[in-house]
């Protein structure tokens, strides 16, 4: 048993080292391409935020619980650089979060996103990615709609892209996807680490000044990295996307295509293979008014999960904002989710159907050149098949942010 455990740990360390090496290799390639035209103009916008927090059911549980409250201190800085061919933007931010009451804990969140774009006459290279350390009830919940255990998640992502114009209306597009997620005390909480590799390649045709048609083939590989009962799944597929701009301020995008899921689970010393087809699709409508912005979305997609499986999420969302005055803005973010398993659990079994509703109205007041205050209320409603009744949570936050003068310089 000791030898088996040691071999498993060595394998896990080798996988983690391999993922970091792949990420660094992609970053070095991007830097090799872009360094000769490094940004000539830079700007840095620092900030410091302080947030008070209250939630009457942080874990969305039916069990007896107390309300949770706390405070966050969040220093950060946004940066950008630009030349004729190269654009770089990113952010470096921290959250020092302290929780009291029903949940007593202390977290440090880290946000290091990076976006790069480099153009030539016929080619464009891009990159989005970075590192995020947050808790599972933040970014992962809003992306997938699935409520996991309350713990920290470390997520590395790297998504380089390449586009080449073949004619004035016809272009080739290629993309690569990599992500590596690990959870603090994950195995003890029933969560497993995972990696995702994938890519897509296809063609973009600009039919008219207002219409774009894109057809591409996709492939994704998902596998758990530390589960004793591992899961590996592959998802080849195809995607057709149509975009129409009615006006400069009104735009509609629709897309859809099949995913052919083949998953292999190692259970009780034997391999279990399942195959199924899931159609993914989506549509979005965005409208920009003089003082308001409106966006409606509906989509179905497949996401990796810390439960050690692929999940299918159907989501309907609405985002709206309105400038009440030059200094006051009101906004609303509402989403409804229907979540089910797209593959079996790494440890066996299937995921029961989950439903989640999330709604957050917010008001922002920039009461001086360097100061801004935000007040928001969030309502979350969750229902699972085996729960006797749905559960709900109410959350209130107040945040004060200071923006020092913006720094700009040239090289």
pLDDT at position 94 over 90: yes
At residue 10 the predicted structure's pLDDT band, cuts being 50, 70 and 90, is very low
pLDDT, mean of residues 237-262 = 94
Q: Return the pLDDT at 219.
A: 97
Among 251, 255, 231, 217, residue whose Cα is nearest residue 342: 231
Q: Return the pLDDT at 284.
A: 96
Q: Return the pLDDT at 33.
A: 47
pLDDT at position 289 over 70: yes
Structure pTM?
A: 0.85
pLDDT, mean of residues 142-153 = 88
pLDDT at position 256 over 70: yes
Q: Return the pLDDT at 14.
A: 46
* Residue labelled with tokens 């966006």: 295
355 vs 18: which has the higher pLDDT: 355
411 vs 168: which has the higher pLDDT: 168
230 vs 29: which has the higher pLDDT: 230
Report whether 119 contacts 129 (CB < 8 A): no
CA gap 120, 36 in Å, rounded:
13
Least confident range from 132-146, 239-253, 255-269: namely 255-269
Q: Return the pLDDT at 308.
A: 83
Q: Return the pLDDT at 248.
A: 87
At residue 348 the predicted structure's pLDDT band, cuts being 50, 70 and 90, is low
33-58, pLDDT tens digit by residue? Answer: 444 445 478 899 999 999 999 999 99
pLDDT, mean of residues 244-255 = 93
- Average pLDDT of the chain is 88
Q: What Rg, from alpha-carbon coordinates, does the chain have?
A: 23
At residue 319 the predicted structure's pLDDT band, cuts being 50, 70 and 90, is very high
pLDDT, mean of residues 3-17 = 44
pLDDT, mean of residues 78-95 = 93
Q: Is 32 left (phi over 0), alpha (psi -120 to 50) or beta?
A: alpha
CA gap 18, 40 in Å, rounded:
34
Residue 263's contacts (CB-CB under 8 Å, 6 or more residues apart) are: 231, 232, 233, 234, 273, 274, 275, 310, 343, 344
Report whether 182 contacts 193 (CB < 8 A): yes
pLDDT, mean of residues 112-119 = 95
Q: Return the pLDDT at 12.
A: 46
CA gap 71, 398 in Å, rounded:
10
pLDDT, mean of residues 274-299 = 94
Least confident range from 17-21, 52-56, 386-390: namely 17-21
At residue 66 the predicted structure's pLDDT band, cuts being 50, 70 and 90, is very high
Q: Return the pLDDT at 347.
A: 60
pLDDT at position 9 over 50: no
Among 223, 237, 225, residue whose Cα is nearest residue 343: 223
pLDDT at position 375 over 90: yes
pLDDT, mean of residues 208-219 = 95
Q: In the chain, pLDDT over 90 holds for what percent of residues?
A: 65
Q: Return the pLDDT at 62.
A: 85
């Amino acid at each position: 048993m000791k030898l088996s455990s040691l071999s498993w740990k060595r394998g896990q360390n080798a996988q983690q080292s391999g993922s970091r090496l792949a990420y660094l290799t992609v970053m070095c390639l991007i830097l090799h391409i872009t360094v000769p035209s490094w940004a000539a103009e830079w700007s840095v916008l620092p900030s410091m935020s302080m947030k008070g927090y209250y939630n009457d059911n942080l874990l969305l549980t039916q069990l007896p619980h107390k309300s949770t409250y706390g405070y966050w201190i969040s220093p950060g800085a946004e940066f950008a650089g630009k030349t004729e061919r190269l654009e770089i933007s990113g952010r470096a931010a921290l959250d020092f979060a302290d929780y009291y009451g029903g949940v007593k804990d202390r977290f440090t969140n880290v946000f290091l996103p990076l976006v790069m774009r480099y153009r030539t006459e016929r080619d464009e290279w891009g990159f989005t990615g970075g590192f995020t350390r947050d808790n599972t009830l933040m970014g992962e919940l809003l992306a997938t709609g699935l409520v996991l255990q309350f713990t920290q998640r470390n997520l590395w992502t790297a998504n380089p892209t390449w586009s080449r114009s073949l004619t004035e209306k016809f272009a080739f597009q290629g993309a690569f996807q990599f992500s590596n997620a690990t959870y603090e005390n994950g195995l003890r909480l029933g969560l497993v680490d995972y990696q995702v590799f994938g890519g897509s390649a296809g063609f973009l045709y600009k039919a008219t000044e207002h219409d774009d048609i894109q057809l591409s083939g996709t492939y994704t590989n998902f596998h758990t990295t530390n589960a004793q009962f591992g899961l590996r799944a592959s998802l080849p597929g195809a995607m057709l996307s149509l975009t129409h701009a009615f006006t400069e301020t009104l735009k509609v995008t629709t897309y859809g295509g099949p995913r052919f899921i083949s998953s292999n689970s190692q259970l009780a010393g034997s391999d279990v293979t399942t195959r199924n087809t899931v159609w993914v699709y989506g549509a979005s409508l965005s409208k920009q008014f003089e003082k308001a912005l409106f966006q409606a979305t509906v989509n179905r997609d497949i996401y990796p999960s810390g439960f050690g499986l692929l999940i299918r999420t159907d989501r309907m969302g609405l985002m709206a904002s309105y400038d009440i005055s030059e200094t006051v803005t009101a906004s609303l973010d509402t989403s409804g989710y229907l979540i089910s398993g797209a593959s079996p659990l790494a440890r066996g079994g299937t995921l029961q159907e989950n439903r989640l509703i999330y709604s957050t109205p917010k008001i922002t007041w920039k009461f001086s050149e360097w100061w801004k205050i935000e007040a928001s209320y969030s309502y979350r409603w969750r229902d699972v098949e085996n729960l006797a009744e749905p559960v709900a949570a109410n959350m209130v936050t107040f945040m004060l942010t200071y923006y020092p003068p913006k720094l700009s310089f040239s090289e």
